Amino acid sequence: MRLVFMGTPDFAVPALRALHARGHDIAAVYSQPPRPAGRGKAVRPSPVHRAAQELGLDVRHPVSLRANQAEWDAFAALKADAAIVAAYGLILPPAMLTAPRLGCLNIHASLLPRWRGASPIQSAILAGDTQSGVTIMQMEAGLDTGPMLRADSVPITTATTATTLHDQLALMGAELVVHVLAEGATPVTQPEDGVTYAPRLTREDGRINWQDSATAIDRRIRALTPWPGTFTTLPDGTVIKIGAATPCATRHSALPGTILDDDLNIACGEGAIRLLALQRPGRGMMQADAFLRGQSLPPGLRLGEDTAHTHD
């Protein structure tokens, strides 16, 4: 088929590569414009942009598609059979949704209608869901509301992180969209029951509230690492990022946020959690024992009391 591919982050790259490998004619790849990234803030193309260049594909990166008639006309002129969209990051106007012969198909990282929206992978882990998956859907004007074409699921365990689930679903999405294009699919209207929305995340979502249960805090750390990342503060306001932790059986009667022992077991609103990897400002993420060689965190110190501190 003659396709247009539209995506930006790493999640979309396996689908682009799979479609190219299957011999589809990819007329153009749309991705977000190159932007400053990393400590040096050098301007970098997106992961999809880089992959498309490696494959020798034409890349377009309009800043906006809103009221952009010239871009709509250029898109229609590609005369694509379908557009495949995976975490592109721009809303497609009706003129673009209807331009390809078969419309636009979205690779969405949830089992719709659960977790429509921007952060389905993180939201599923945060909520304690026992499964996630990918839905291939026909796009329409609503937010992830279109008919479903195919879906598959994976379990979420107590070891699942946003990183591991992301990688699983990226590969699953690539396989599913290849199958849909090869075999076709009967559209199924999304049910009205079970609709939930996954909000756009901010850095503040990563602030640990030690009043929460150890189970909830564990989910937050697994869901929001590596981005936006989870963190707490020392009494002096120093931000400490948390890279990994595990609930533990330590019994306590301490206030939430209190360091219980030299093993970095922390009192929670219910239960306790052991911090396994931490990061000081300006340093890399370290295992707890290495971290403690350069930063004293004595038992009895209470984390997260500096609630007025703004994380940056």
Binding site, annotated residues:
110-113
Residue ranges of the binding site for (6S)-5,6,7,8-tetrahydrofolate: 110-113
| Strand boundaries in 95-206, DSSP class E | 104-108, 116-117, 131-138, 148-155, 197-198
Strands (DSSP E) found in 113-179: 116-117, 131-138, 148-155
* Beta strands 286-287 and 272-279, pairing class: antiparallel
| Beta-sheet pairing, 82-86 with 104-108 | parallel
Place of tokens 């209608």: 113
Q: Are 8 and 89 in contact (CB under 8 A)?
A: yes
Contact, 90 vs 109, CB < 8 A? no
Cα separation of 119 and 101, whole Å? Answer: 29
